[in-house]
Amino acid sequence: MKILTFGDAMIRGEQFTKAAGMLGDHEIVTTDWEADWGKLQNRRLVIEQQGPAVEEVPQMFKDNKDADMVLGLFGPFSAEGMDAFDDLKLIGVARAGTENVDVKAATERDIVVVHVMGRNAQAVSDFAIGLMLNESRNIARAHHSIKNGEWRKTFSNSDYIPELKGKKVGLVGFGYIGRLVAKKLSGFDVEVIVFDPYVKPESIDMPHVTIVDKETLFREADFISLHARLTEENHHMVSRSELAMMKPTAYLVNCARSGLIDTDALVEALKNKQIAGAGLDVFDIEPLEEGNPLRELDNVTLTTHIAGTTSDALMQSPFLLAEEVKKVLETGHASWVKNPEVLSRPKVKQWIESLQS
């Protein structure tokens, strides 16, 4: 079997090659797609917004057309890219989101798509709580004032700077990351309310967590943190109407996807102090362009899409992916297969059985 590793500036191909060694003694070709960090951030965002077909087929696909498997992170796996191979059988991406993979095209071609759930869940959940504290307690603004020779003590929320104790924190989305946020917040003595149409109340095993509808969450929460995947159905789910429901003392945090929020509506709400503040790690255009109105506001904390970027999360991701691929090859099934229906198809079963013999 031939394995092509497909790294980038965030996780190099060499790291994927080390992880691929867990799969046995196979031919492994090590490559990198986009080694420039700045360019990678822009290209990955465009792919997430427009799909993998927006990119040209990578040359390394054409140079390794006999590869059976490709393991990577952010590179584009379009239908055309898959067709560049003679007989590609498995695509593995070391991330939870598969926006850079045309899963429908892969399924049509009997190609197994494996991803990694929760690889940066600890990192993102830590960061979300950090943004709640940072924005509401003016940590970054105070730091900036000292760096600029000032000693600032007055802020836009000076009349209602909150403590977390006793507050309601609303979580939109209650998957692995949302559950970690709720677990970590339990030590702050908060009440957590959750909106997630796919979660049943009986599945909640935390006494401080309650399932509510969307309107209740936006009306009652003192902090709202978004942890939902971006779909066509929930695009701009936080619009003017949701922002109008929020308390004037409430804060909005987004470490998920920028498309969940109507940015123009948020800017308007922040300008008018309709809400107290926001903490944002994701944006419609990255890097945040010069002249963006978010840069001019004093009641928003902006970070450079780094919520999930820790050394721990990055270094373990390829190995988590390899472990999941190994399950597929050894048992014919795994928990993190994006299109599990292909595992029962004759061509896929025959390939897996050939590796087991």
CATH number for the domain that contains residue 293: 3.40.50.720
The last residue of one of the domains, among 281, 302, 323, is: 302
One domain, residues 39 and 156: no
- Split into its structural domains, the chain has a count of 2
R_g of the chain computed on alpha carbons: 22
Are residues 111 and 126 both part of a single domain? no
| Assigned token pair, 62 | 């054409």
- Residue appearing with tokens 């009997």: 110
Co-location of 83 and 176 in the same domain: no
- Within this chain, do residues 72 and 144 fall inside the same structural domain, yes or no? no
pLDDT score recorded for residue 30: 95
Identify the band that residue 118 occupies on the pLDDT scale cut at 50, 70 and 90.
confident
User: Is residue 72 domain-shared with residue 155, that is, in the same domain?
Assistant: no
Which residues are paired to 191 by β-bridges?
168
Active-site residue identified among 191, 286, 323, 330: 286
Output the pLDDT for position 310.
86
Query: Is residue 101 located within the same domain as residue 185?
Result: no
pLDDT at site 38: 86
The whole-angstrom separation of Cα 74 and Cα 168 is 36
Note whether 103 and 143 are same-domain residues.
Answer: no
**Cβ atoms of 16 and 84 closer than 8 Å:** no
Give the ranges where the chain is alpha helix by DSSP (H). Answer: 13-20, 37-50, 59-63, 79-83, 103-108, 121-137, 139-147, 176-185, 214-220, 240-245, 263-271, 311-331, 346-356
Does 244 lie in the same domain as 190? Answer: yes
DSSP H/E element including 114: strand 112-114
Whether 31 and 114 share a structural domain? yes
Q: Which of 284, 302, 320 is the last residue of a domain?
A: 302
Residue 314 clears pLDDT 90, i.e. is over it: no
Boundaries of domain holding 277:
121-302
- What's the confidence (pLDDT) of residue 88? 97
Could you tell me the two tokens for 185?
Answer: 């917040």
Say yes or no: 287 and 165 in one domain.
Answer: yes
- The catalytically annotated residue of 12, 44, 95, 257 is 257
Tokens at residue 333, please?
């099934």
Known catalytic membership, residue 286? yes
Instruction: Report which secondary-structure segment, H or E, holds 251.
Output: strand 251-254
pLDDT band at 120 (very low <50, low <70, confident <90, very high): confident
- Note the pLDDT tens digit of each residue in 56-90: 999 999 999 999 999 999 999 999 999 999 999 99
Scan for tokens 């696909």, then name that residue. Answer: 61
Q: Give pLDDT tens digits for 327-336.
A: 999 999 888 9
Q: Which two tokens stand for residue 340?
A: 């599990």
Has 305 been annotated as catalytic? yes
Taking the alpha carbons of 301, 304, 305, 309 in that order, is the dihedral positive or negative?
negative
Residues 169 and 275 in one domain: yes
Closest CA relative to residue 45, chosen from 125, 99, 91, 118: 99
Residue 115 a catalytic site member: no
Average pLDDT, the chain: 95
